[in-house]
Amino acid sequence: MNAVLIALLVLPLLGAALTLAPVFGPDRAVADRRALRLNSVVTGAVFLVSVALAAGFDHGSPARMQATTDVSWIPALHVRFHLGVDGVSLPLIVLTALLTFLCALYSEKRLPGGEARDAAPDEHRPSGQAFVGLFLLLEVGMLATFAVLDLLLFFLAFEIVLIPMYFLIARWGSGAKTPAANRFILYTLLGSAVMLLGFLLIGSKAGTFDMQALAAAHGHGLSHTTQVIAALAIMVGLAVKAPAWPLHSWLPDAHTAAPTVGSVLLAGVLLKMGTYGLVRVLLPVVPDGTATLAPYLGAFAAVGIVYGSLACLALARPGSKGDLKRLIAYSSVGHMGFVLLGIASLTPVGVNGALFANIAHGLITGLLFFVVGALKDRYGTADLDTLSGATGAALYGRAPRIGALLAFAAVASLGLPGLAGFWGELLAMFGAFDPAAGLSRPAFVTYMVLAGLGTLLTAAYLLIVVKRVCMGDPAQPAPVDRLPDLRPYEAVSWTPLAALTLVAGLWPALLLGLSDPAVKHLLGGG
């Protein structure tokens, strides 16, 4: 039993339960304010606990599971309440806690109200209490995904996030929010149901659902056919979540419709659950099956990189009515393609790069969605053509701080050396250049070339976006007259992301030192 990791899950759960209790007073506005304050307090406490977890983590042996708890929960199904962190999951847990805390701070000042924010009468507005309850439940699911070490618990955690995210999109979103939310939940549920079948097959053949035991066995006792079938099922399930091309089509709609905090968490954390699952489950548990399927995963990843950047390029073109949030969503498809390519290489270099790119994408895209969400709030739309007008939105002139942050996030996203986006994608391509023994080198080199092409295209569209949004003539007629610059609460919730982007770019060993031993352990099975 380890109290820290349990507290990490129990705190937000208690917070979510508290929102059901009638403790916020009868007045709507006051109750909402109190609930949102509670949200910040709870997520802040969770973040502190995660920092404590990181501080207490034995950095000398990140391959070892630490802060473990292992008690029987459902003996009939052999489900154990098994928690633990190692160098792979620790950064993701801290990232999750940080992003949720920042989102909670942000929403305290700017509760997303959906489209009816100003028009609807008070009682028709979705309540802050409900928002907080769902938000905290979402946090439970996200943290649990990275903390559990039992296949069925992993599946459970995977499913916990669906309902809160569904309602965040459907109730607090904008535009075609209900179809987007439906599409999101149906896609991901189909994926996770298929993944469950893979888990059950493994459990049926290996006799246990414990990830550590299965990883230690490293595929022994599972026939090649079983491994391939299980790997296929799990890979398809996780690829929906990641998302890998061609299973990504839920993502752009969900991002476009979601409120800002929903987009941030969706891109920053939920997508990582898919790639984390690939590293945590697929690589160590069914290594033979993964090796058989890795070239296909790599191919889909490479296509996804190019496809994502081309889609973004099309959206960034003047006159294409491109939505900025949609554009960033497509750019996520490209970035997650790098992560998948790194994993598919099955080398320590590639997988380390994938994990690094995971974190980097969480920081950078989180920041991008924050900034674009703020723009959408100010302009009332995220339509690139409306924003930029004839010459460009001229943020440098009209709101220089926001413009600078957007430009910063954009160049970080395109992989400028010295910022977080660089290392992960570079290492992923290195991994593809020299894939693990048994994988076809020419194929992976082709993927690497495609990925390289993707980085060029990425640079192209992001620079176009920066040009159209940040530059331009400040004097031209704009959709809104007054454009407030960075507000204090925005500064508070965005600065940590920008700072960490810089830190991770300048000092990659901070993350790689944690993940490398753990990755070698997972790949080697020793």
Q: Which residues are near another protein by CB under 8 A?
A: 20, 73-77, 120, 123-124, 126, 130, 137, 141, 152, 155-156, 159-160, 162-163, 166-167, 170-171, 178, 182, 185-186, 189-190, 193-194, 196-197, 200-201, 203-204, 229
Q: Which is nearer to another protein, 194 or 247 (CB)?
A: 194
The distance of closest approach from Cβ of residue 409 to another protein in the complex, given in angstroms and rounded to an integer, is 33
Helix axes 151-160, 128-147, angle to 10 degrees: 160
- What the block records as the tokens of 87 is 């160098």
- What the block records as the tokens of 162 is 């669906």
CA distances from 198 to 89, 230, 292, 310 (A): 22, 4, 16, 33
Q: Which is nearer to another protein, 170 or 261 (CB)?
A: 170
Q: Which is nearer to another protein, 194 or 466 (CB)?
A: 194
74 bridge partner residues:
79
Cβ atoms of residues 342 and 428 within 8 Å: yes
In this structure, the chain runs to a length of 526
In degrees, rounded to 5, the angle at the alpha carbon of residue 438 between the alpha carbons of residues 434 and 440 is 60
Q: Which is nearer to another protein, 46 or 152 (CB)?
A: 152
The distance of closest approach from Cβ of residue 225 to another protein in the complex, given in angstroms and rounded to an integer, is 11
Q: Which is nearer to another protein, 194 or 238 (CB)?
A: 194
Cβ atoms of residues 67 and 148 within 8 Å: no
Query: How far is it, in rounded angstroms, from Cα 316 to Cα 216?
Result: 48
Residue labelled with tokens 């048994």: 438
The distance of closest approach from Cβ of residue 178 to another protein in the complex, given in angstroms and rounded to an integer, is 8
Amino acid at 474: P
The distance of closest approach from Cβ of residue 164 to another protein in the complex, given in angstroms and rounded to an integer, is 9
Q: Which is nearer to another protein, 157 or 426 (CB)?
A: 157
Q: Which is nearer to another protein, 161 or 409 (CB)?
A: 161
Number of neighbours of residue 124 by Cβ within 10 angstroms: 9
In 3D space, the residue among 328, 333, 355 whose CA is nearest the CA of residue 342 turns out to be 355
Number of neighbours of residue 221 by Cβ within 10 angstroms: 11
Query: How far is it, in rounded angstroms, from Cα 358 to Cα 68?
Result: 24
Q: Which is nearer to another protein, 274 or 322 (CB)?
A: 274
The distance of closest approach from Cβ of residue 101 to another protein in the complex, given in angstroms and rounded to an integer, is 23
Sign of CA dihedral 256, 259, 261, 266: negative
Cβ atoms of residues 470 and 396 within 8 Å: yes
Q: At a CB cut-off of 8 Å and minimum separation 6, what does 430 contact? A: 349, 350, 353
- What the block records as the tokens of 24 is 């916020």
The distance of closest approach from Cβ of residue 74 to another protein in the complex, given in angstroms and rounded to an integer, is 5
Give burial (CB, 10 Å; 0-12/13-18/19+) of 233. Answer: buried
Q: Which is nearer to another protein, 102 or 230 (CB)?
A: 230
Query: How far is it, in rounded angstroms, from Cα 396 to Cα 406?
Result: 10
Q: Which is nearer to another protein, 196 or 412 (CB)?
A: 196
In 3D space, the residue among 288, 285, 278 whose CA is nearest the CA of residue 92 turns out to be 278
Cβ atoms of residues 107 and 39 within 8 Å: yes
Q: Which is nearer to another protein, 76 or 437 (CB)?
A: 76
The distance of closest approach from Cβ of residue 123 to another protein in the complex, given in angstroms and rounded to an integer, is 6
